Chain A
Amino acid sequence: MKEQHLNVNVQFLKAYDDLADPIYRHCYYRVSDRERARDIMQETFTRTWEYISRNGHIDNLRAFLYRTAHNLIVDEYRKKKMDSLDELRDKGFDPIGADFQKDIHTAIAAREIIALFDKIDLSYREVLVMRYIDDMAPKEIAHVLDESENAISVRLHRAIKKIKELMEHREKTI
């Protein structure tokens, strides 16, 4: 039993080492706010540990973490009326934060992604983040969101189409 608990602790901390950045990135591109993304990431691991500490069985820790993060993000959307980025910028908000200025190309890319995602439906945003930022296959996305693989594939297809339209429109207006 002690050996088992030791393994759980070690495995959980390893999961943090491996997945803290990906979960943070996932949250970041969905809530467009660095501070909130960090808080949600921390909350995700905290809640998962609380579940484990009550001897909850978790077959797939990675999927559990993403699902927990997703639920917290949905909670966030519900609690706060999500301001559009334009409104936030008018208030002096920069989603990137000074730290990311260190790598200008990364910062520019992040801003572009957030600006694009800000213009699409939240349900499209979530599948795009999972597919392209988190590198999840449609099957895994379906598992996390508790939907059918077919529904996810259709939504992804529509989301990509929407993004392409936005990018083409952006290029025409530059």
Chain B
Amino acid sequence: MKKPFEKIIELAKEIHLDATEKASLKDDLVLLMRMRPVASSATTSWRTTLMRRGALAFGIGVLVVGSVSYAAEGSLPGDLLYPVKINVTEQVVTWATRSPRRQAIWHTQLVERRLEEVERLASRGFLDNIKAAEVEARIETETNNVASHIDALENKKELETAATISSNLESTLRAHERILLNLTARTPQSRDDKESKKNHEESSKMAESLKEKRNRMTNKRTSLEAKIATSTESSATIKRRSVETTASEVTTLLTSLSSSLDIPARTKAKIRLERDKKMIREGSAAMELKSNGDAFRLFQKAERSLQETRLILEAHKKLNISPEFNGEHEDTDTSDNTSEPQEHADESFNDTIKDFQNQRGKLQFDTRL
């Protein structure tokens, strides 16, 4: 005879999602899988999956819409299907996204999508003032959307979440600013001088505009971090887990791109990676001293830098441009209260090079379960 607790448990296990709800959430997931395919050829996989699964229980109409949406996914401003991408496919995901946090993340992804479109146009020499103005307006709208959601999270006292999202957008904007400046330095071979000049101008203007947005986000992020006076241990632990995962992903990406990078670019990327791993170790040391607020900020700073590295490497892969890590770096940004004074920055950087060259202090991240 079963004991009372076990009897209750047996019945309690019957709790489940409503079938309609489960199907609806699956549709949202499928849309996400299309927006964020695996590596390169998942769009083909997606089409095959769609055919295999039938019309997602919505009939042939969904197949037709789905095929058009699929074709629109790679479109750029000025293309026939671009309005489908903006007004249909992305709108569906926007409507389906529920929590304020997920909405902020989705709008950050939209900023990134617009920036990738600009870069693809610029790399081909097709970025004229009309397309640039259209995309710039969308980027401004989406950045403002992210800022609104960050404010909403701040009002709900979800300060760490708000700080993380502002930090992510900041690193996205910084990375793409660098990519655009890198593209500005290149002249497409097959275009005449007048169009190349326009392309250059628009890329430079866009990079300048991104800098202004990035500075706004830096101010927001630093004000949020200042309010996170004492983070809890669990917040710092969650942040550490996140940055360790990012470090592992960047390491994997760099390894996969090693053969396509020239030696200077590869070396700079590795040095950057080692410096960020060192920052993670410093954050862990701060946690041991119960300085969880400092640990959180250090992990966040490392994560910003890692995300920037990843985006620049991914641009190298997609646009076939040599990654450029020179220029203004966050260590010289005095608004960040965890950055070292400038006179010591070179010293710590040299230490990082020494560590790297001596193969010391490698962190092993086990993200495999």
Contacts and interface: CB of A to CB of B under 8 A. Distances in A.
Contact of A78 (B11, B26, B37, B232): B232
Interface in A94-153: 99-100, 103, 105-106, 108-110, 112-113, 132-133, 143
Interface string A1-32: 11001101110110011001100110011000
A55 B39 contact: yes
B98 A106 contact: no
Main secondary structure of the interface of A (DSSP, over half): helix
A75 interface: yes
Contacts of B36: 49-50, 53
A167 B8 CA distance: 11
Contacts of B13: 25, 133
B17 A24 contact: yes
Contact of A132 (B9, B22, B98, B232): B9
B42 to A, nearest CB: 5
Contact of A16 (B8, B26, B40, B49): B26
Contacts of B4: 167
B48 interface: yes
Given A38-B25, A75-B238, A5 B16 contact: no
A53 B36 CA distance: 6
Nearest to B161: A79
Contacts of A63: 369
A52 B33 CA distance: 10
B245 A51 contact: yes
B87 to A, nearest CB: 23
Contacts of B364: none
A60 interface: yes
Interface string B234-259: 11001001000100010010000000
B102 interface: yes
Interface in B61-93: none
Interface string B27-46: 01110110011111110111
B368 A58 contact: yes
B367 interface: yes
A167 B5 contact: yes
B328 interface: no
B309 to A, nearest CB: 13
A110 B10 CA distance: 10
Contact of A25 (B15, B25, B235): B15
B45 A5 contact: yes
Contact of A9 (B6, B18, B45): B45
Given A16-B29, A21-B22, A5 B369 contact: no
A23 B17 CA distance: 10
A157 B353 CA distance: 51
Tell me which of B13, B46, B52 has the highest count of chain A C-beta atoms within 10 A of its own C-beta. B13
Contact of B5 (A29, A103, A163): A163
A88 interface: no
B74 to A, nearest CB: 16
B32 A46 contact: yes
B98 A2 contact: no
B211 to A, nearest CB: 27
B26 A6 contact: no
Contacts of A5: 37-39, 41-42, 44-45
A132 B5 CA distance: 10
A84 interface: no
A71 B238 contact: yes
A74 interface: yes
Contact of A28 (B15, B42, B98, B158): B15
Interface string B329-345: 00000000000000000
Which 7 A-B residue pairings sit nearest by Cβ, starting from the closest? A109-B11, A5-B45, A6-B45, A106-B14, A53-B36, A21-B16, A63-B369
Given A49-B29, A59-B369, 13 more contacts: A17-B26, A38-B17, A42-B25, A45-B29, A46-B29, A50-B32, A53-B36, A53-B42, A55-B249, A59-B368, A74-B238, A79-B161, A133-B9
Interface of B: 4-6, 8-18, 21-22, 25-26, 28-30, 32-33, 36-42, 44-46, 48-49, 52-53, 98-99, 102, 158, 161, 232, 234-235, 238, 241, 245, 249, 252, 367-369
8 contacts: A1-B40, A6-B49, A8-B42, A13-B26, A24-B15, A49-B29, A49-B36, A56-B249
